[in-house]
């Protein structure tokens, strides 16, 4: 299979550029455009396409890209001297989670110590009053100075009179306090839940950590108001623009929440990143009815349905990913599938036959091999052109035979190279040897002929970390994990823009800066190709444009 991410720029683009290779027409006959960018570095993000210093935009689409002489071919409503800044395609994050939150929620992504976490919980308890639930997301033991997970005793000290449930970064485990455990009637006598683990500490007591099944407690949390959800989801989408994300796929949503997305995009879609939403499966007939009316009254260039989301196994932060060999120092523990294998295979076949694209969460090597085979068997039984099924994560490198099977059946990957950086502590705790070095592989599946797009899964959501990890393979600990899986920066940029567009069936319109495509682009002060890779971690986006309109600009 040819890797379609390396598709050469199209015939339409070539013909358009040829129009401007000769001498420009006299002044009265010059082409009128809305925006003319000059004196910059234009990175087209398309293998084989010429870059340049000038880009012309008309009616939201790119008209031409070329050298300095190109500027004389146009009359522009707005001409912008970039003063050497770099322009490249906006990032298309094809696997992320855009959350909406209640007033009870605490963002924990920037918390660096358990003491700071306790302080944030205490402050929220004082603001809400006794008895009110407190929730939060984003803590990671690898980012905490104490080097451990927060436990129930920490939360009891901070908020003894409020039930508290704080979800770890990645979403595969959470910590609860005693009040929350009491409300959920979780005690030492509670049997281990299917598909999850209720942890005990070294002292034999429940330590408050629940892996994969925090729903046991989350079900008791009162739902937020519609206005809270709408306000916070809009703010979360707006927060993507400073990161240079011009399109995003929200990777897990329930049908009942689609009206919230519709309302936001009907009201504010022109000021937000383009969005594509992955839905949970609710049966062939229910999904057909939903799909028939989902897009009524919507600009589908701004908001559309994505692939069906299926979870094959758990994650590494638990750990719960299903592996072929036991985890390091964990006896015979190998994680587990979220569904019995035969049920998973039947579900994959049903969704495929119904005509949907699938984006399947598969992290452990055993889960990847089973899921890839299930997809291949479904494709063979019911051939479909251009299905574009893909695996989310692909964290552990499977056998060469599985990668060959994926390539032969057109099964793609939405990869998160940033995991190698952010989750280095988790991988080194649970894996060793070859499988540790080759976590989150990028180059080997590409070499096998598999289409690979890069994305974030919010660990963290900023694309610069993913680019850094794809190029260096360094973890937060400074260790290089599997240097042979690294790819060049220009290819990583391409897979973080065109890759997402292709998986979203939008590659004809976005993902590259070539004539005919939508003018979705970002500006940087410096050309990232000229920088030491370490500088990528702190390289800010200066401006974000969608369809020829600037939607965000960094303050001086």
**Residue of higher predicted confidence among 48 and 418:** 418
* pLDDT-derived band at 118, boundaries 50, 70, 90: very high
**Are residues 547 and 484 part of one domain?**
no
In a domain, residue 138? The reply is yes
**Are residues 532 and 503 part of one domain?**
no
In a domain, residue 199? The reply is yes
Residue percentage of the chain with pLDDT more than 70:
95
**What's the pLDDT at 4?**
44
Residue percentage of the chain with pLDDT more than 90:
88
**Are residues 367 and 458 part of one domain?**
yes
**Are residues 410 and 400 part of one domain?**
yes
**Are residues 540 and 500 part of one domain?**
no
CATH number for 28 = 2.30.40.10
Residues 415, 391 contacting (CB under 8 angstroms): no
Among candidate residues 218, 244, 279, the one where a domain is terminated: 218
Name the token pair of 192. 């281990």
Query: What are the strands of the beta sheet with 31-38, ordered from one edge?
Result: 61-66, 54-58, 31-38, 74-81
Q: Is the pLDDT of residue 232 over 80?
A: yes
Among candidate residues 218, 246, 266, the one where a domain is terminated: 218
Closest C-alpha among 528, 445, 439, 536 to residue 479: 439
In a domain, residue 96? The reply is no
**Are residues 270 and 164 part of one domain?**
no
In a domain, residue 95? The reply is no
When the pLDDT of each residue in the chain is averaged and rounded to a whole number, the result is 93
In a domain, residue 97? The reply is no
Using CA atoms, how far apart are residues 62 and 414, in angstroms rounded to an integer? 27
CATH number for 202 = 3.10.310.70
The pLDDT tens digits for 372-397 are 999 999 999 999 999 999 999 999 99
Name residues whose C-beta falls within 8 Å of residue 546's C-beta, 6 or more positions apart in sequence.
Answer: 90, 246, 273, 274, 518, 519, 520
Name the token pair of 424. 């280095």
**Are residues 244 and 127 part of one domain?**
no
Mean pLDDT of 134-162: 95
Specify the pTM: 0.84
Mean pLDDT of 435-443: 97
Mean pLDDT of 3-8: 45
**Are residues 286 and 141 part of one domain?**
no
**Are residues 399 and 351 part of one domain?**
yes
In a domain, residue 396? The reply is yes
* pLDDT-derived band at 13, boundaries 50, 70, 90: very low
**What's the pLDDT at 8?**
43
Closest C-alpha among 546, 541, 556, 555 to residue 273: 546
Q: Is the pLDDT of residue 22 over 70?
A: no
Domain count, the chain: 3
Name the token pair of 114. 């358990």
**Are residues 293 and 304 part of one domain?**
yes
**Are residues 443 and 313 part of one domain?**
yes
**Are residues 197 and 115 part of one domain?**
yes
What residues make up the domain containing 485?
A: 227-510
Among candidate residues 151, 184, 218, the one where a domain is terminated: 218
Closest C-alpha among 413, 488, 499, 492 to residue 450: 413
């Amino acid at each position: 299979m040819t890797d379609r991410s390396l598709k050469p720029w199209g015939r339409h683009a070539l013909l358009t550029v040829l129009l401007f290779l000769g001498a420009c027409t006299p002044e009265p006959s010059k082409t009128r455009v809305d925006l003319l960018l000059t004196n910059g570095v234009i990175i087209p993000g398309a293998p084989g396409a010429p870059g340049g210093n000038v880009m012309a935009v008309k009616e939201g689409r790119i008209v031409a890209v070329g050298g300095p002489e190109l500027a004389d071919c146009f009359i522009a409503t707005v001409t912008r001297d970039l003063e050497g800044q770099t322009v490249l395609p906006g990032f298309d994050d094809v696997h992320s989670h855009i959350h909406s939150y209640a007033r009870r929620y605490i963002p924990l992504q920037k918390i660096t110590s358990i003491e700071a976490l306790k302080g944030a919980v205490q402050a929220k308890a004082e603001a809400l009053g006794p008895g009110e639930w407190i929730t939060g997301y984003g803590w990671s033991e690898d980012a905490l100075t104490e080097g451990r997970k927060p436990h129930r005793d920490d939360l009891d000290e901070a908020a003894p009179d409020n039930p508290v449930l704080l979800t770890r970064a990645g979403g595969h485990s959470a910590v609860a306090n005693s009040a929350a455990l009491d409300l959920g009637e979780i005690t030492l006598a509670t049997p281990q839940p299917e598909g999850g683990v209720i942890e005990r500490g070294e002292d034999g007591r429940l330590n408050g950590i629940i892996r994969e099944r925090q729903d046991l407690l989350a079900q008791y949390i009162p739902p937020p108001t519609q206005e809270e959800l709408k306000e916070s989801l809009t703010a979360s989408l707006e927060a993507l623009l400073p990161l240079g994300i011009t399109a995003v796929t929200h990777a897990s949503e329930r049908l009942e929440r689609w009206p919230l997305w519709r309302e936001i995009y009907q009201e504010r879609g022109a000021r937000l990143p383009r969005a594509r939403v992955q839905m949970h499966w609710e049966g062939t007939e229910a999904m057909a009815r939903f799909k028939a009316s989902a897009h009524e009254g919507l600009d589908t260039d701004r908001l559309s349905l994505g692939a069906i989301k299926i979870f094959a196994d758990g994650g590494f932060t638990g750990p719960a990913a299903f592996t072929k060999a036991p985890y390091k120092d964990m006896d015979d523990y190998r994680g587990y599938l979220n569904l019995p294998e035969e049920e998973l295979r039947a579900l994959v076949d049903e969704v495929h036959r119904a005509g949907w694209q699938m984006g399947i969460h598969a992290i452990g090597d055993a889960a990847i091999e089973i899921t890839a085979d299930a997809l291949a068997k479904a494709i063979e039984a019911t051939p479909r052109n251009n299905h574009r099924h893909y695996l989310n994560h692909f964290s552990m490198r499977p056998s060469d035979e599985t990668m060959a099977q994926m390539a032969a059946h057109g099964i793609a990957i939405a990869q998160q190279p940033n995991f190698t950086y952010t989750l280095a502590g988790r991988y080194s705790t649970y894996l060793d040897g070859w499988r540790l070095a080759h976590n989150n592989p990028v180059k080997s599946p590409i070499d096998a002929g598999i289409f690979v797009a890069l994305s974030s899964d919010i660990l963290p959501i900023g694309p610069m970390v993913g680019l850094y990890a794809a190029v260096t393979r360094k973890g937060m600990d400074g260790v290089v994990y599997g240097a042979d899986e690294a790819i060049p920066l220009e290819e990583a940029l391409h897979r973080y823009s065109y890759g997402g567009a292709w998986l979203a069936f939008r590659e004809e319109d976005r993902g590259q800066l070539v004539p005919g495509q939508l003018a979705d682009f970002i500006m940087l002060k410096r050309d990232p190709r000229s920088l030491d890779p370490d500088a990528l971690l702190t390289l800010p986006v200066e401006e974000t444009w969608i369809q020829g309109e600037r939607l965000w600009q960094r303050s001086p």
